[in-house]
Amino acid sequence: MTQLTHLDDKGAARMVDVGGKQPTARAAIASGRIRMSQVALVAIRDGSGPKGDVLAAARIAGIMAAKQTGSLIPLCHPLALDAVTVDFTFEDDGLRVTARASLTGKTGVEMEAMTATSIALLTIYDMAKAIDKGMVIDAIRLIEKTGGKSGTWRAE
């Protein structure tokens, strides 16, 4: 029978016990997009050139949020991350954010990569919302995870 690992046999929420697991090298990559008007897109691109801080702010916000994942997501373990990166790609109708987290530990870092992606996207929304309130964040998903007992997983 299918069972949610974060519920005990009475349905109560719990942190999954990772006490018996061995630390191994693990990594996860997540990505997501924010779609926006051309006016907003141009403003962000201009605000990210030599003098601008837009993407720099979103990157820092994403990296800092990855480190707060255990405080934000109720049943996540607090993790000693080895590394976090957040990158941006301009697309025709918006921006793509890709985040990668890694650690040597007993549980995976999928949520850290997903959280970094989400907060970086929200930061972009915040900085451009005076121009375009209709921006839409979508396609936040796990792209790949490696390491751990279940091994490598890749989005189809």
Query: Which candidate in 17, 53, 126, 138 is catalytic?
Result: 126
Q: Show the site string, 116-135: x = touches its own copies by CB under 8 A, - = not.
A: --xx-xxx-xxxxxxx-xxx
Told to check if 146 binds its own copies by CB under 8 A, we report: no
Contact 65, 81 (CB under 8 A): no
- Return the residue of 65, 95, 97, 109 that touches its own copies, per CB under 8 A: 65
| Alpha helices, H only, 50-101 | 54-67, 69-72
- Which one, 16 or 92, has the nearer CB to its own copies? 16
CB 92, min distance to its own copies, A: 18
Residue with Cβ nearer its own copies (96 or 122)? 122
Handedness of CA 138, 109, 85, 116 (dihedral sign): positive
Smallest distance from the beta carbon of 45 to its own copies, in angstroms?
Answer: 11
Q: Is 41 annotated as a binding residue?
A: no
Q: Are 100 and 31 in contact (CB under 8 A)?
A: no
Measure Cα distances from 134 to 15, 33, 93, 125 in Å: 37, 14, 13, 9
* Annotated binding residues for substrate: 75-77, 111-112
